[in-house]
Structure 1
Amino acid sequence: MELLLDHARVVPGLDATGRPSTAAHPGSLLVREGRVVSVGPAGRPAPGAVRIDLRGRLVTPAFVDAHVHLAETGQQAMAVDLTGATSAADLLALVAGHAEHAELSGRPGVVLGHGWDESAWEAGTVVTREDLDRATRGRAAYLSRVDMHSALVSTALVEAAGGESRMSALPGWSARGPVAQDAHHAVRDAARSLVTAEDRAEAVSTALAAAAAAGVGQVHEMGAPHLSTPDDFATVAALAERARSEGRAVPDVVGYWGDRDTAVALRLGLVGAAGDLCVDGAIGSRTAALREDYADAPGVRGALYLDADDVAGHLVACTRAGLQGGFHVIGDRGAGAVLDGLRAAEEVVGLPALRAARHRLEHLEMVDAEQLDALARWGVVLSVQPRFDALWGGPGGLYAARVGERAPAMNPFSTALAAGAVLALGSDTPVTPFDPWGGLRAAVHHRTPGSGLTPAQALHAHTVGGWVAGLQGGAADLPEALGGTLLPGAPATLAAWDTEDDLEALCDPGAEAPRCTLSLVDGLAAHDPGGLVPPRRAGR
């Protein structure tokens, strides 16, 4: 089937010289066999082609979200949203209401919640385990902090994780407030074991639908033993196959398994043993590994889960196995361990092989210009989340409270791009939701002047950058026009937006995100609430 998207304003993403661009081309976009045929004046569709009048809507390449957790995102639909909790009492009221509603609805299992952030609460406020036990009526409960690196848990969940005698021996244990580090990992595993396979599969499906509705055409799923299960990838494959049989699509899923043992990634045919293989934790939970003390917690420098030898060994193994390796790393001490590990890996496999593997780092918030130059030399992809800076950066923000004068230098996007690094933007959902326009605005209007990107650079990083990040093979040989753009020959993976504004205006600080009215993945409808694309069965 051919599609002619007529009366559109098409943003191909690159100009005639191959540089990032936000320029829109009025006219039509012709799609044949899942690929873009032409952009501009109306092409010549075949007889029987489907013409869709977009009435001046903006059309862009579908966004690539380079860091997601699908099941955890979808589970929010069956969990209590704690992002709006303004105090401990508010959180407990939300949890109690959710627990009661779940029981009345016949879903009396584990109470899940996400998104609380105590940094704006009254100083010294604590939610105790006893408080949570009363709010949940004694049920198992796991309430993750907004950064997903610590949690509030009930007594019933502690018992499911092995009991207080076992938990109290683990780093990060607290008998009163949130648990972090190894104790957090243990209770998170226990909570996940209480979620049924059916609920988890439903959550993956819900998250993919949300991505498509946000104009996201590809996601990078960051699976890991402490976060998810390999069965999630089987769920993704089944959903994609069912969609194809019905003549529609779901967003492409590029899979990663964050484990130093590469066996699962190789068995499942994933792109890499990377993602949330954690070198350290997060700033908000004070578990990111710092060289100096946290400004608001003297004597605390976070947690270093992997050292330089661990990093080097994993990168060598991945390079030899043809996999992308990579790590979650945020703090400056964690970054130092990764850089030392990369240097050691280069000595073993050589620079050409290391570059060709295109290893990647997630978040990397505390990094300097010299380190960025080295990372670009090694061909390392930087998967970053601009909305972290929008939420927690700037004077008076969480980062300033946690790390003081070190905060303004965090997330130096423009410096990374100037060094020649590949930037790929993402959400880390459910830490922040699918919101590519919010990501663009945050990248452009960085809270540290001079650290942000231009709108064209941000669009490129949220489309082509993400597409490149998810590919195996030598970066020098990548045909950029074949992914993340709407140039002729590119996959017809795109989004149409109900707006009269241009892309630059949509990146203004106060701009409202436009509504996605249509998203296609390889020419098939992934989100089509208005029924613009007629259904097409497989084989037709």
Structure 2
Amino acid sequence: MAVTDGVVVWIGQDSVGRALHPDAEVIELNGAFVAPAFVDAHVHATSAGLLLTGLDLTRTASVAELLQQVRDAEGLLVWGHGWDETRWPENRPPTRAEIDEAAAGKTVYLSRIDVHSAVVSSDLVTDEVRAADGYTEDGPLARAAHHHVRGTAKAAITPEQREAAQRAFLRHAASQGIASVHECAGPDISGEDDLRDLLAVDEGPEVVAYWGSHDLPDVPVRGLAGDHFVDGALGSRTAALVEPYADAPTSGALYLTAQQIADHLVKCTEQGLQAGFHVIGDAGMATVVEGFTIAEKTLGTPALASARHRLEHVEMVTAEQAAQLAGWGVIASVQPLFDAEWGGPTGMYAQRLGTERGVGLNPFSRLAAAGVVLAFGSDTPVTAIDPWAAVRAAVHHRTEGFGVSPRAAFTAHTRGGWRAAGVDDGLTGTLQPGAPATYAVWETGDLVVAGSDARVQRWSTDPRSGVPGLPDLTGPAPVCVRTVLNGRTIYERK
């Protein structure tokens, strides 16, 4: 492959390429393969960076272990993320009294894995928090109460800590073969200063900014989309359901009406902006569909569809709704690792919804079959940035028939991400003459597949071909040795 001024100008046989470009700098790959770089279509950079530099609770195995981590944490502010009580033997979150005892005077903010609730120390609980929706006396805080305490804890993070977290995140993303990330910011998530600082970072992947609100911030953004909340999350029991949760007497929360959704779609379409919403529960999806239906009557189908509005997560969707979304040109920004983490007959989804409903989530094949463009992401720090694991999860869905082919999965995590951000020129996200030289170099090798008939298997040099390694995705994934964005190296393994 030959690259000139950040653009692929030739692909073909090595000897021909050297003859055509005799003065080129030659980079020998020694058997490594080149593929289009990944795009992560849904991230929260600062929070993910704080997970790298702060208290990582994603592998915490019990309440007792979490409390010990709080005791051992240094500094006046303990910012942690990732606890999941559905994996613990106690099957409950820690109480505020337990947090206070372990904190010993430190301020503690610990978000649940879905970032829709948190346990906190008592010094964060003000009268405003107590009066807010989602407040509980001794348990996790959700909804508006959670937004209040998160804002207070976030304000205690210094600009230096924030910059360090953002840079750590972008370096890590680049090391995973990712050349672009979609930052899903918003007034209740990160704030304008946070987004402004992130866009000013001069290293790592390209950042495409979204703002989850009705109103434009004083920061350049691709659209008023991303985490513009229609509802909450299943783990925190705030995703809006038609029927109540199986393990609690609640149906979640709706934050927007169909008319508000329609008004937002109309305003953004008329202003040439991409609109979008966070939606997870089936009642939330029904409200979104109703909102699009109302907006269609005002705008007409061509104008609505050409705007390529997007939805985040889309975990509960019927075949009929998928067809409607496709007709409106909607792009689905989805997270395959959600199914890997919480799907199946015994996972968190089944605990919250019952087995029958719980195994029906994240139907990627249904969306793809209807013609909905898929863009894969992590929602990090909710799940890890691990694009090969996401490809594997999308192929090997825990519910039979809901997965997609290796080629479709790889495309959704590469070209699909560019299309979700409005880049649909037929070149970006591919490797062909005329395409931006945005790619990753992956080191592969023989890997032993465990079992009585242990054998040696080599990964395919074309990850889209499905021959022979990718469909099984057994053993370790390829290791990134170089990530390139528009001809500029943003990561190189030392």
TM-score, with length taken from structure 2: 0.93
Cα distance, 1:152–1:449 mapped onto 2, change above 3 Å: same
Secondary structure of residue in 2 paired with 1:142? strand
Matched, 1:388 2:344: no
Shift of 1:235: 2.7
**Residue 173 of structure 2 is aligned to residue 211 of structure 1:** yes
Which AA in structure 2 matches 1:516?
Answer: C
* Structure 2 residue 156 is matched with structure 1 residue 194: yes
Partner of 2:185: 223
Q: Verify: 1:428 aligned to 2:379, yes or no.
A: yes
1:234: Cα distance to partner? 3.2
Aligned match of 1:24: none
Partners of 1:506 and 1:512 within 8 A in 2: no
Tell me the residue number matched to 1:335. 285
Counterpart contact for 2:100–2:121, Cα < 8 Å:
yes
* 1:121 corresponding residue in structure 2: 88
Q: Which amino acid aligns with 1:408?
A: V
C-alpha distance in 2 between matches for 1:48 and 1:235: 40
Correspondences of 1:101-180 after superposition (within 5 Å): 102=74, 108-123=75-90, 125-158=92-125, 163=126, 165-180=127-142
Given the two structures, how large is their TM-score scaled by the length of structure 1?
Answer: 0.85
Backbone CA RMSD of aligned residues: 1.4
1:57 is aligned to 32
Distance 1:454 1:75, change over 3 A: same
Indicate whether 1:378 and 2:328 are aligned. Answer: yes
Alignment of 1:354-503 (within 5 A): 354-404=304-354, 405-471=356-422, 478-480=424-426, 482-500=427-445, 501-502=459-460, 503=463
For residues 470 and 191 of structure 2, the distance between their equivalents in structure 1, rounded to whole angstroms, comes to: 38
Counterpart mapping for 1:37-52 below 5 A = 37-42=9-14, 43=17, 44=19, 46=21, 48-52=23-27
Q: 3-state DSSP class of the match of 1:130?
A: helix
Partner Cα distance (1:214, 1:374) in 2: 35
Match of 1:13 in 2: none
Query: How far does residue 125 in structure 1 lie from its aligned partner after superposition?
Result: 3.6
Matched with 1:93 is 68
The residue aligned with 1:259 is: 213
Q: Is the 8 Å Cα contact of residues 54 and 80 (structure 2) preserved in structure 1?
A: yes
CA distance in 1, matches of 2:77, 2:155: 10
Shift of 1:396: 0.7
Is contact 1:79-1:113 (8 Å) kept? yes
How many angstroms does 1:424 deviate by?
0.3
Task: Report the residue type matching 2:365 in the other structure.
Answer: S
Alpha-carbon displacement from aligned partner over 1:432-485 (angstroms, at most 9, x marks no partner) = 11100000000000001111010000011111111100017xxxxx322x2111
Q: Compute the displacement of 1:310 (Å).
A: 1.1
Other structure's SS at 1:409 match: coil
* 1:12-32 C-alpha deviation (Å, 9 max, x unpaired): xxxxxxxxxxxxxxxxx1111
2:252 aligned residue: 302
Listed as ranges, the gaps of 5+ residues in structure 1 are 1-28, 103-107, 244-249, 473-477, 531-540
Q: Secondary structure at the match of 2:261?
A: helix
- Name the residue aligned to 1:23: none
Specify whether residues 126 and 411 from structure 1 end up closer, same or farther in structure 2 by C-alpha distance, changes over 3 A only: closer
Task: Count residues in correspondence.
Answer: 471
Give the Cα–Cα distance (whole angstroms) in 2 for the partners of residues 388 and 277 of structure 1.
19
Secondary structure (helix, strand or coil) at the match of 1:516 reads: strand
Query: Which deviations, in whole Å up to 9, do the C-alpha atoms of 1:266-294 show, x marking residues without a partner?
Result: x4331100001110000111110000010
Counterparts of 1:437 and 1:175, CA distance in 2: 42
Classify the secondary structure of the residue corresponding to 2:201. helix
State the Cα deviation string for residues 161-203 of structure 1 (Å, max 9, x = none). xx1x332221211111111111111111111111112211221
Could you tell me the percent identity over the aligned residues?
A: 50
For 1:509 and 1:292, locate their aligned partners in 2 and report how far apart those are by CA, in whole Å. Answer: 37
SS in structure 2 of the partner of residue 268 of structure 1: coil
Pick one of 230, 236, 239 that aligns with 2:201. Answer: 239
Partners of 1:168 and 1:237 in 2: CA distance: 35
Whether 1:34 aligns to 2:6 is: yes
CA contact (8 A) 2:63 2:90 kept: no
- Counterpart of 1:71 in structure 2 is 46
Which amino acid in structure 2 is aligned with residue 522 of structure 1? Answer: N
Structure 2 match to 1:525:
489
| Per-residue deviation, residues 86-115 of structure 1 (Å, max 9, x unmatched) | 1111110112112xxx2xxxxx33210011
User: Does the C-alpha gap of structure 1 residues 233 and 170 become closer, same or farther in structure 2, counting only changes over 3 Å?
Assistant: closer
Residue pair 1:493, 1:522 contacting (<8 A) in 2 also: yes
Amino acid at match of 2:59: G
